[in-house]
Amino acid sequence: MAATLTNPLRIGLRQERVIPPQCLIIFGASGDLTHRKLIPALFELFLQRRLPSEFAVLGCARRPWSDEVFRQTMAQRLQPIIAPNPQAWEFFSQGLFYEPVDLQQPGHLERLGQRLEQVDRLRATRGARTFYLSVSPAFYGSGARALAGAGLLADPQRSRLVIEKPFGTDYASAQQLNRVVKSSAQENQIFRIDHYLCKETVQNIMVLRFANSIFEPLWNRNHISSVQITAAETVGVEQRASYYEQSGALKDMVQNHLTQMLALTTMEPPGRFEPEPIRNEKAKVLQAARLANPEQPWTCCVRGQYGSGGTAERPLVSYRNEPGVNPNSTTETYVAVKLLIDNWRWQGVPFYLRTGKHMAKRLSEVALTFRDAPVHLFDAATGGVSSNNQFVIRIQPDEGATFRFEVKAPGSGMRSRPIAMDFSYLDSFGEPSDEGYVRLLADAMLGDPTLFTRSDEVEAAWRLYTPILEGLKQSPEKFPVHSYEAGTWGPAESDELLSRDGLLWRRP
Amino acid sequence: MVPQLTLQAPLKLPPSAVPSHLQQLWADSDDGYNGAATFTLVVWEPAWLEQHLARLGLLEEAVMGMQRPCLVDAARRAISTYGLPSSTAPLSHTLAQALVTQPGGESQSFDDLRGQAIESSISELQPHRMITLAPTIAAEQPIDALVAAYCPLPEDSHGGGSVCGDVLVLRGGAAAIAGELDLLPQLIPSHLPCWVLWEGALGEHLDIFERLTVPPQRLIVDTALGHTTPSMGILAQRIAAGQAVYDLNWYRLGAWRESLAMTFDAQDRRESLNHVSQVDIDLEGDQLCQGLLLGAWIASRLQWSLQGGHRHGDTSFYSFQRPDGVKVDMNLVSVPVGLPKAHAGSIMGLRLLCKPPNRRGLSVVLCGEASGCMRLEGGDISSRDLVEAIVPLVEGSLEVQETRVLAGGHDTTNPLLATAAHLADKMLAATVSSKAP
């Protein structure tokens, strides 16, 4: 039986939350993200009947395109997606419009306002608007200010602003951007994207913890000895060198995605499953988190950069030899940090976060290791003492969870060995999960901010890593970039970060 | 969610004066506001049952045309007071029809707030205009046209951006209402979507139904409110004609569809779906619409073709052919129950028997929260793997379901409903045209 066989009874049932009538305005509509992610996600929502008939997309960019050119451009670029559903595309594309707009030109915004009213009338979109800033991060603040200045964000119930990542480049710039954005719109209108939060298994962390009574009593310092959060990629920097050179692994992955996973793993149960109580708890735990040694951040942070590697058939070039990368670059492509959380639940439990490019395996996971059994009555089948229990939440690939515990090894002796009790999304559910942007766009248009980061969360996340970022500026020599062979699990120095605590990185 | 009344006492006008009055209503607004650019909602709201219960003194509250708990309680009292079979569903057409002939209360007057009491969740959607057609049980009653403005309650509008709309109620005998239907095209803006919510039984007042529900109007009906044959026939016919139709009875089936799909989500069970040999559906009473829609949904999803059907006693028998040519039996059994759910024909239980080759058979039994599983647990199921689940009773009020539709609607019918309604109508026709062997 093929593992991908879809449950025929499942098809078409996912219509639980239909998006209310509205117009989605995409700034940067001529850019890659629009045809690679946004329009495909909207078309998928259309195919799932989760978009209402009263819906429109208004693409905006500087290029002097017409509605028809925008439709044709999207049709050409999305051909493989459209081909199986040409009639559906025909209906969907009737709701695509385009307006040439430069956000810095007041006259353009006035024209945009008039065009929006026209689209409202044409598509009966009830005056509800979601503005999506898919532009360079440098224009997030000025874009928000321009929209507010034109009165387009004045209605807090019917206008929203979606902002792509990265939100700031450090604590100070994130604060500054928050000030600008919050002077343009109310917090409940602002949707700051973190793509990791739209992954089914990231959301499942909350369900696992708060819908089951078996986990939560164990989910604390009394039972958990350490936690490892990993996001490993097998790809290198690819075509993102110019961005990556400025950003590096810490800003690109740790400050946002891994820190959000940390927040979901460690937050207290919210009083209600509603956006604000959830975001309150996430912000609280991030405010209680700190580097293991903020005074000497180099002792709890290891940076690495991939060197060459791979095989003779598939050689991998080093980071410094990638196109667009400075040959003397000290940008990290790998980073591991040790964090602690100063609250009642987690005091003393070390959290190890690591991410890297060109690593041995593509995976993201949260692994919670439980404390030793108080008394070792049995020897392990392999000799020595039995291993600790471990609960691993697999974010990707093979989404699911594994619980590892000891059982009696078959035979006449009383030796134990670990086995894995496994849950897999693929095996347990009758249809694949939505692509991330499908969920993110749907939630933004539904006005549900649960999966978007609030200003205080973003700032707390930046503040957490400020000692490292400051240290990198002031004493870069204390944060050397260790080379690691492409296709491995990172530099040896990273292993030392854990071995000092008597631990090992997981080799999943 | 609570009903709210209009902003002002409704103004009684001659029907011919309504269009100009509505045009004037917002004309003095400072910002030139001329109504929310949202949608129009036209409601045919006979509320026969509610009116008769009020007439007979069994319902003390005003008639509002809403499915409130006090209405269901009063209906249950009526069933007992007038000696009707205890298996009568409180909101069924049968009960309303039975009360017509009950004497008494002719002199009793009752408040009629139909169309003036607006469910807050609906007003929150800021309809441009709500037009309620409220036929009275006094067939000769002349027409009253009541006009008022409404606004969402401040707490519902979350403090920002609220716009108001207006409501029109045409109240009187059905014939008098029919005489004024030509007014409506002037009152329904052609550039906004318009939903027609038919809260009566399908098949009654067909002349009004035909005139009200002309495409592209989107139609919301409830096939649980009338008799099976006209309800299913009209549903299927309107969908086939290309109209966007929402059946609230189909939405009530949601928990059953989800529960059955969930059973076969597990990878190792999916294969069994190709080897279903028998389906049994138990439903309350003899209103078959829900059972037919559920059976038709299963059959259409699994690509079975209908071979024939007949009805014998309380059971409708259908035979289908699977894509591999094997015959599948489907039985819809009407079960009388002592305390039926509010709507007629609610599903009580569902059983699927699967015979996968070279594997132990599988029996899937889903039972309603309130109805138990014993009947479907009988027969030869001990030789099979048994999967049982309880399907939660998630009826929700009519208004909650309507709000869901209005909040994000489509101008086409859900393809699952379209396919199921077409097949369900064919199944019904097969039992009507054939005799029991």
Name chain B contacts of A18, Cβ cutoff 8 Å. Answer: 404, 407-409
Confidence tier at A304 by pLDDT (50, 70, 90): very high
Q: Is residue A402 part of a domain?
A: no
Q: Is residue A387 part of a domain?
A: no
Interface contact A124-B193, CB threshold 8 A: yes
The total domain count for chain A is 2
CATH code for the domain of A303: 3.30.360.10
Of B192, B301, B409, which has the smallest distance from its Cβ to A8's Cβ? B301
Give the per-residue pLDDT at B231.
97
Q: Same domain for A158 and A253?
A: no
Confidence tier at B76 by pLDDT (50, 70, 90): very high
Q: Same domain for A147 and A215?
A: no
The ipTM value here is 0.86
Q: Is residue A285 part of a domain?
A: yes
Reply yes or no on whether the pLDDT at A98 is more than 50. yes
pLDDT digits (tens, 9 = 90+) for A317-337: 999 999 999 999 999 999 999
Q: Is residue A122 part of a domain?
A: yes
Confidence tier at A16 by pLDDT (50, 70, 90): low
Name chain B contacts of A7, Cβ cutoff 8 Å. Answer: 261, 264-265, 270, 273
The residue-averaged pLDDT of B349-375 equals 86
Percent of chain A at pLDDT exceeding 90: 75
B357 lies within 8 A of chain A by CB: no
Q: Same domain for A158 and A298?
A: no
Q: Is residue A440 part of a domain?
A: no
Give how far A93 is from chain B: nearest CA, Å. Answer: 15
Give the per-residue pLDDT at B158.
45
Interface contact B409-A53, CB threshold 8 A: yes
Q: Which amino acid is at A366?
A: V
Q: Same domain for A150 and A220?
A: no
Reply yes or no on whether the pLDDT at A501 is more than 90. yes
pLDDT digits (tens, 9 = 90+) for B85-124: 988 999 888 899 899 988 877 666 788 989 887 777 787 7
Contact between A297 and A263 (Cβ < 8 Å): no
Confidence tier at B435 by pLDDT (50, 70, 90): low
Searching chain B, which residue's CA lies closest to the CA of residue A120? Answer: B37
Q: Same domain for A205 and A141?
A: no
B interface test, pick of A1, A5, A10 with most B CB neighbours within 10 Å: A10
A interface test, pick of B265, B297, B403, B416 with most A CB neighbours within 10 Å: B265
Interface contact B158-A157, CB threshold 8 A: yes
Give the per-residue pLDDT at A381.
73
> Mean pLDDT lowest for which of A400-414, B18-32, B186-200?
B18-32
Give how far A267 is from chain B: nearest CA, Å. Answer: 28
Of B192, B268, B407, which has the smallest distance from its Cβ to A124's Cβ? B192
Q: Same domain for A28 and A109?
A: yes
Q: Same domain for A209 and A71?
A: no
**B284-313 residues touching A, CB cutoff 8 A:** 298, 301-303
Average pLDDT value over all residues in chain A: 92
Residue reference for tokens 């005074």: A295
Cβ–Cβ pairs < 8 A, chains A and B: 97
Give the per-residue pLDDT at B28.
59
Confidence tier at A4 by pLDDT (50, 70, 90): very low
The residue-averaged pLDDT of B252-281 equals 91
Name chain B contacts of A429, Cβ cutoff 8 Å. Answer: 265
Q: Same domain for A231 and A363?
A: yes
Q: Same domain for A353 and A471?
A: yes
Percent of chain A at pLDDT exceeding 70: 98
Give the per-residue pLDDT at A3.
41
Helix (H, G, I), strand (E, B) or coil at A406: strand
pLDDT digits (tens, 9 = 90+) for A251-272: 999 999 999 999 999 999 999 8
pLDDT digits (tens, 9 = 90+) for A354-393: 999 999 999 999 999 999 888 888 877 777 777 889 999 9
Q: Is residue A213 part of a domain?
A: yes
Reply yes or no on whether the pLDDT at A1 is more than 70. no
Reply yes or no on whether the pLDDT at B385 is more than 90. no
Q: Is residue A181 part of a domain?
A: no
Confidence tier at B406 by pLDDT (50, 70, 90): confident
Residue A223 bears catalytic tag: no
Q: What proportions of chain A, in percent to the nearest 5, are helix, strand and coil? A: 40, 25, 40
Reply yes or no on whether the pLDDT at B156 is more than 50. no
Interface contact B261-A10, CB threshold 8 A: yes
DSSP H helices, A416-454, are 425-428, 436-446
Residue after which a domain boundary falls, among A164, A182, A215:
A164
Q: Same domain for A155 and A224?
A: no
Residue reference for tokens 């009388």: B336
Q: Which of A35, A108, A195, A257 is catalytic?
A: A257
B415 lies within 8 A of chain A by CB: yes
CATH code for the domain of A51: 3.40.50.720
Reply yes or no on whether the pLDDT at B29 is more than 60. no
Average pLDDT value over all residues in chain B: 87
Confidence tier at B35 by pLDDT (50, 70, 90): low
pLDDT digits (tens, 9 = 90+) for B311-325: 999 999 999 999 999
Q: Same domain for A157 and A207?
A: no
Q: Domain range for residue A230?
A: 198-375+454-499
pLDDT digits (tens, 9 = 90+) for B184-207: 999 998 888 999 999 999 999 999
Give how far B259 is from chain A: nearest CA, Å. Answer: 10
Q: Same domain for A143 and A223?
A: no
